[in-house]
Structure 1
């Protein structure tokens, strides 16, 4: 398979030439979504070749029973599945009694697929010769509306090129679907009704166990040479499927077109008994507007998103395409309209990993949403965690913790832990720290302290209680230690004193103690409410402080670096450069036993801590640790290259920073990890944005002031980005000679540029 078949383009993802071996990869890369639903780029017409069918509804999931050969106390009862929903996109095409099928035809020519990121639509065009020698030109376009987020629209056109043709066009909705990712091959859906009314079709179905009620719907119209045919379809119904059958004859070179509208109404947004009625309203709105107007609305909505979120890169088309691909998919996955939703690691592009929420949201995604949207969007992501606090306390109780200690889940849909690998579920506890850091990071960036007395302090107290109980005193070290953990480097399990985990535990306690005092002094009513609810006492706070002040951090005098964990130097320290390339990626070539005994690091671990808490270390310390750990890092996590890119840029290693940037931005486009067919790496895409804004742009908050230290790779002529900082929009434009700052806002803004104060006036450019 050609892993580099996507054509470089500034605004589109382009594929030319049909290769069945690339179909599954393209289904991922060309996926579309609108925050409320999404789908892989499956063909509308029948396809008999290998394919991964996938349509997904935000927030709808199934608790697939955990599949393990043993059971221990505290083990999650289920592994949440992102559910493959009933499909509404299908349009079967039959020409002179032969089915149109790209896998079974005589010849496919001029195949072209485009995902237009600027305007938010997916298209295909191709010339096909069927086995009966009929030649057809086929053109399709589809999108999921951002403005009407329950609706999607398809325009599908067929032109017979070498003779007249008898067409049978069959749009359908189909609830007889299965999940690619299933532990026990359970049926996930129960179909309750299959109905047709006024050429509108509806299938009501609910999920087993979780009992989400949905209605999948469709309506269609047929045209010849842009004239509505007024054709009435024949209806075929089964227990799981509704088909509309249109039959007509089309002359040579005439254009047959079908407009199909479809989508979902869900009881997350409507009364479960009113889903068909809501679907009718949505269909009537969509068909009244029509395909062309809906598409125009789509273009305008995306233009508004891009106006704020776009990053331009001059002189490097692959880099430009990469960053826009990442920004596009982040906006397709989450738009901040619903605080009960979060950002799944595969978004709407696949089913791997299960669950909708990882620590990725707090560590990587919140900075992107804070800076490219109104701060209320990031606040909703923080509110999501507060809403799940009681579940986090229950998760901790299952593992033996008490007194309101909270352990947030590694993977969740509703606040319950639903990950089924013990070394992750029980041991990758550093996720608690990322949530606390996000609260700190939100206030640091937005200046909005209100979240903390309203919600955040309760979260911080639960997390601090967990760290206090999870640490134990070692008489050997005369310090507090944290044993039996997995750090961000998942290639080391059940290790002791992971530096990152210990450091963030200490930081969490210190930050919570500091925040308690701040709320006590400035928000006495909130403090009284919270202290009454949580029963915190000065004696308890003193015990926390004892742990934080005496936390153990493994250190090597020989190498003059903190150790990633107690036993790191016991390993055979062979760098990645000296590892036979045929052994890569090790996660696909080696046994788990061999990986765990190796020095190889999946992603930034200790360096993740130095990224978060950069201002607590000198440049010389960062450089020393970067030089020690990066050579052992295999970057087999999607979350790895972005952190290393940011740190390499800070250390003025611009070639290395650029290489890491290109890898993070084109991770999926160039399929670095040989797994893009399973879906995209959505949450790491926010790290790509950080690689430019925080890496090359050097954006930080220093002393409550927005600060930049701009740098530019030699491969670029220039780049620009915007950030929304405390309701003022700053545009930063960098080229090889200078940096320009432009302010959209009412008041002047003082920023730091390379450590020096610079004042930007409204609508004036400042050049540095």
Structure 2
């Protein structure tokens, strides 16, 4: 969000702006300290929302009459028929919409007979703070009325994590200079309407029905409301009671407002220095659809809840909440050394995951949690693919609850499979609350069969992380088997592709490419799904034969069918494009033209789906989010890093990141393949989606999967955590912006703390039996009280020892000589002459990139369209500036140790080559006095594709007459390391670990290069 509008903690900066002279935030408190503008109130209500997995309360002020303030219950939703001009078999018939229930946050003020309107007065001081450690929303306001009297209002709010239906508020008003009567008007407001759909289909709905009031009551003790939905037939009761904490405050009257709600008023005489304080408790009870629960029964439940709530005061509730939160934070063990704003943001994101995910098996993690009305409160695949892995490692009981929701809706998934013409098996709804499909647009809805595989992945990850095989026999295996058997009814053995198992007409995670054949993500995840289902069947048959026999008999599962799963998995069609060396996203993706730049997403974060007809998008090679890369994150342990790197390079160029799910996936894969700078940049993109309102729709609720993605980018990305053969495996790296970091994970009843520093990582088992982990593939056994320290990076030189290299291929700039400053000066001079801004960030992007590609990067900063002739003229002009400067270079400009390193290779009898993106490489070698040390030189004049494409290193190997595997590459840039690996060579990185994490051997400078150290 723009500077000056942001939610901050004592002016904590967003990562995108300069952090100099900024005050560090309190990483446990998110604070807003200026009067909210009308345009930002809804966004703040989302950020400051409280929830407990069943009840969610947006963070509006008690006195506010904001139309976007709302309260939600996971179990209260309405069903609305979907209207089609043309309806075909299998189309979703209705949609579920979570709707606002009676809001109990409202407390109005009256001074004498005059109602207080805070918007009409002067705000002398204000602070609203979300206390992440204690799970409490706090607010203080010093306000001067238009008549000149001054009050201070202090409010605290809790939605207890372990009381599913309760809201607690403590509200105090202190007179600074007012004398006279004051009334606190505590209300239950029941006339909040669901948001209506505008131009953005992600927000709001065309609701048919909704909640209607069936009973209202209010007296000195209790105010209550009964409501009922029209179509889903859910009954709801809500009620409020109060504790009076200050002398003089007493009940004055009860009000019933037909069609609006109920109120209870409390009055007192107030004088300067005196306070009045009210504790307010609001409880809810609701029925399941079509249940026989009566209003009387629900009102009794509300009354009982309020009686229990009043048995202890607000301080006791606050202490219980803080204790529950503390238990979670002990599991998370989160710390970032060197960037408190990042630490605060990660804690904020984790807090929303903790509070917005269900605990009773009747709900999951909605796309917007319980913080707003975005996406109608629906559950999608990201609940299992993003949110559940975080909770499986930090709050396993909640992860199990999410899976129990899928077990409880298995019958609905079976019905949906029949609607989609599948005679057996189960297909989970793409978007849903009740379990029924709610997507009216099937190409990007029901066609996303990969949701079955996401649920299977979640089951596997949960069981691996917790060892909870009991879940499998209590419904988990039924889900796994029923969803697995569906793949045989979607896919088939294709004789035109050598009888490979193909899956046609589905949509993968990239919704900008719909109804395709052989979506890579879907095929890959289906393969893993089928294999895991077969493994679980074999394990249960061996370990729990009676349970397995019961499950198999109930669904008519045979050994023959299980064998067919394995056969389909082995034959799964997963091609590699022979030209690009990447996995095609689908059969036709690479044949499409790229989306022209003029049609790119130029309107901030307004996605293409709101700018273009779907067919226009489908006809182009453009991705809404990570697709192939998502398969690497969820099930890519067997895919080599070079393949991942090539795919990352390719798909990064065609992905517009219109989905908030995308950045975390790119960050994790970038970390794995050694693109440290990109990993961190994408990490910031998922970290601050809501704090900085990066996609412009936080006002409709926070983005749960993006929040989960920020933790995954930390633990799976920077921490390198994976599940490997039943063990937790780590391969940590340290982002350059930090001095260190820490996170905790729960693994099979043990708790592991991972503390990463500059050079080493320490693993500590804080609880549990001795546990074996993997550090860069090496086993370590952890015991309580015995922390183990290991080098941050594995000894890459060990992987090079004994290899029979016959040639070494050196990069020029940054390895042999530092001519980057010369290039930088030449580009900066050209940029100045044509009026384009040039800074160090652009200069960094130009390192190791050929002249024309560098020019294209530079011209991204201008809207002027240059012709090809004009571009050639500009490139020539820059080259002239460069050549003028290198004429003054000499041997003294060699980097220390460079000549010795090259000569050592020749003395060892190995061949030498140069691979430089500079077209002036031969001239440079002459000026540096080392031209005679190279057997072959490849520069930009000899290649068509720049690094990270492997062409330049492959050309150097051919020039030396060697196979790529016989060559060793030496580079100082991440793109160069990627180029070397893509060519099938080992790579030595010269420079910083953070930038070159993918290198097989990392050296601080070329002076440390000694070929004999790792070849003997």
Give the TM-score taking structure 2 as reference length.
0.71
Instruction: Measure the CA separation in 2 of the matches of 1:710 and 1:542.
Output: 39
Q: CA deviation at 1:651?
A: 1.6
Aligned residue runs from structure 1 range 519-668, under 5 A: 519-541=540-562, 543-573=564-594, 579=600, 581-582=602-603, 585-587=606-608, 590-593=611-614, 594-668=616-690
Between the aligned partners of 1:282 and 1:387, the Cα distance in structure 2 is: 26
**SS of aligned partner of 2:497:** coil
**2:155 paired residue number:** 140
How far apart, in 2, do the equivalents of 1:580 and 1:288 lie? Answer: 56
Per the TM alignment, residue 497 of structure 1 is displaced from its structure 2 partner at its CA by 1.9
Deviates most, 66-75 or 611-620: 66-75
Residue 717 to residue 202, structure 1, CA distance change in 2 (3 Å): same
Deviation at 1:584, TM superposition (A): 5.0
Q: Aligned Cα RMSD in Å?
A: 2.5
Kindly indicate whether the alpha-carbon contact (under 8 Å) linking 2:517 and 2:586 is maintained by their aligned counterparts in 1. yes
Match of 2:700 in 1: 678
Equivalent positions of 1:254-653 (< 5 A) are 254-267=274-287, 272=294, 273-334=296-357, 336=359, 338-373=360-395, 375-402=396-423, 404-478=424-498, 479-541=500-562, 543-573=564-594, 579=600, 581-582=602-603, 585-587=606-608, 590-593=611-614, 594-653=616-675
Distance 1:599 1:583, change over 3 A: farther
Distance 1:230 1:585 in 2: 51
SS of structure 1 residue aligned to 2:769: coil
Q: Is the 8 A contact 1:106 1:129 kept in 2?
A: yes
In the aligned structure 2, how far is the partner of 1:601 from the partner of 1:758?
Answer: 41
Q: 1:753 to 1:69 in 2, by over 3 A?
A: same
**What's the TM-score once normalised by structure 1's chain length?**
0.93
**Residues 465 and 738 (structure 1 numbering): CA distance in 2 closer, same or farther, change over 3 Å?**
same
SS of match in other structure, 1:306: helix
Q: Which residue number in structure 2 is paired with residue 730 of structure 1? A: 752
What is the CA-CA distance between 1:301 and the residue it aligns to? 2.1
What does residue 13 of structure 1 align with?
30
| d(CA) in 2 for partners of 1:239, 1:198 | 18
Q: How big is the shift at 1:462?
A: 1.8
Q: Distance in 2 between the 1:524 and 1:634 partners?
A: 50
Structure 2 partner of 1:161: 176
Q: CA deviation at 1:392?
A: 1.1
Distance 1:82 1:580 in 2: 31
* Per-residue CA distance 1:122-156 (angstroms, 9 max, x = gap): 12222333333333322222111224332222222
CA distance in structure 1 between the partners assigned to 2:453 and 2:378 by the alignment:
19
Query: Which one of 19, 39, 47 corresponds to residue 57 of structure 2?
Result: 39
Cα displacement (A) at 1:329: 0.5
Q: Distance in 2 between matches of 1:27 and 1:15?
A: 11
Using the TM superposition, give the Cα deviation of residue 73 of structure 1 relative to its aligned residue in structure 2, in angstroms.
Answer: 1.2
1:233 matches 2:252 = yes
1:54 correspondence with 2:77: no
Which residues of structure 2 form unaligned runs of 5+? 13-24, 197-203, 791-1016
- The 1:589/1:56 distance shift into structure 2, 3 A limit, reads closer
Q: Match of 2:98?
A: 82
* 1:441–1:577 Cα change, 3 Å: farther
Instruction: State whether residues 215 and 264 of structure 1, in contact with CA within 8 Å, keep that contact through their aligned partners in structure 2.
Output: yes
* CA offset digits 1:282-314 (Å, max 9, x no partner): 223323312222222222222222111241112
Query: Counterparts of 1:76 and 1:55 in 2: how far apart (Å)?
Result: 28
Q: Is the 8 A contact 1:14 1:115 kept in 2?
A: yes
Q: Tell me, in whole angstroms, the C-alpha distance in 1 between the residues paired with 2:166 and 2:469.
A: 38
- Of stretches 514-523 and 239-248 in structure 1, the one that deviates more from structure 2 is 514-523
Q: How far off is 1:437 after superposition?
A: 1.6
Structure 1 position 376, deviation (Å): 4.3
Contact 1:443 1:449 (8 Å CA) reproduced? yes
Contact 1:310/1:327 (CA < 8 Å) preserved in 2?
no
Q: Within 1, Cα distance between the matches of 2:605 and 2:258?
A: 48
Q: Secondary structure at the match of 2:486?
A: helix
Distance verdict in 2 for CA 1:108–1:20, change over 3 Å:
farther
Comparing 288-297 with 666-675, which one deviates more in the overlay?
Answer: 288-297
Residues of 2 paired with 1:450 and 1:290: CA distance? 39
Give 1:91 deviation, angstroms. 1.0
Contact 1:65 1:183 in 2 (8 A): no
Which shows bigger deviation, 670-679 or 1-10? 1-10
Query: Higher RCO, 1 or 2 (CA under 8 Å, sep at least 6)?
Result: 1
Max Rg structure: 2
The answer as to whether partners of 1:407 and 1:429 remain within 8 angstroms in 2 is yes
Shift of 1:433: 0.9
Shift of 1:435: 1.2
Alpha-carbon distance change, 707 to 317 in structure 1, aligned in 2, over 3 angstroms: same
Q: How far did 1:111 drift?
A: 2.3
Q: Choose from 48, 64, 80 the match for 2:80.
A: 64
- Distance, in Å, in 2 between the alignment partners of 1:216 and 1:324 is 32
Moved more, 660-669 or 680-689: 680-689
**Segment drifting more, 339-348 vs 234-243:** 234-243
Separation (CA, whole Å) in 2 of partners of 1:333 and 1:287: 25
Contact 1:583 1:590 in 2 (8 A): no
Change (3 A) 1:701 1:547: closer
**CA contact 1:513–1:541 (8 Å) conserved in 2:** yes
Change in CA separation of 1:582 and 1:266 when aligned onto 2, cut-off 3 Å: closer
Relative to structure 1, is the Cα distance of residues 575 and 297 closer, same or farther in structure 2, using a 3 angstrom cutoff? farther
Deviates most, 120-129 or 6-15: 120-129
1-structure distance, mates of 2:109, 2:503: 62
Query: How do residues 124-135 of structure 1 correspond to structure 2 at under 5 angstroms?
Result: 124-135=139-150
Is the 8 Å Cα contact of residues 387 and 704 (structure 2) preserved in structure 1?
A: no
The answer to whether the 8 Å contact 2:79/2:208 transfers is: no
Residues 221 and 228 in structure 1, CA contact (< 8 A), matched pair in contact too? no
Q: How far did residue 409 of structure 1 move?
A: 0.8
Q: 1:409 to 1:739 in 2, by over 3 A?
A: same
SS of residue matched to 1:233? strand
Contact 2:177 2:271 in 1 (8 A): no
Q: Deviations over 1:706-761 (max 9, x none)?
A: 22111111111221111111111111111112211111235322222122222222
- Alignment match, 2:125: 110
SS, match of residue 228 in structure 1: coil
Query: 1:556 aligns to what SS in structure 2?
Result: coil
Per the TM alignment, residue 554 of structure 1 is displaced from its structure 2 partner at its CA by: 4.7
User: Would you say 1:174 and 2:178 are equivalent positions?
Assistant: no
* Alpha-carbon distance, 1:355 to partner: 4.4
CA distance in 1, matches of 2:760, 2:358: 34
Of residues 742-751 and 82-91 in structure 1, the stretch that sits farther from structure 2 once superposed is 742-751
In structure 2, the CA distance between the partners of 1:588 and 1:113, relative to structure 1 (3 Å rule), is farther
Describe the shift of the 1:547–1:170 C-alpha distance in structure 2 as closer, same or farther (beyond 3 A). Answer: same
Q: Higher mean Cα deviation, 26-35 or 654-663?
A: 654-663
**1:27 matched to 2:45:** yes
- Structure 2 CA distance for aligned equivalents of residues 609 and 42 of structure 1: 40
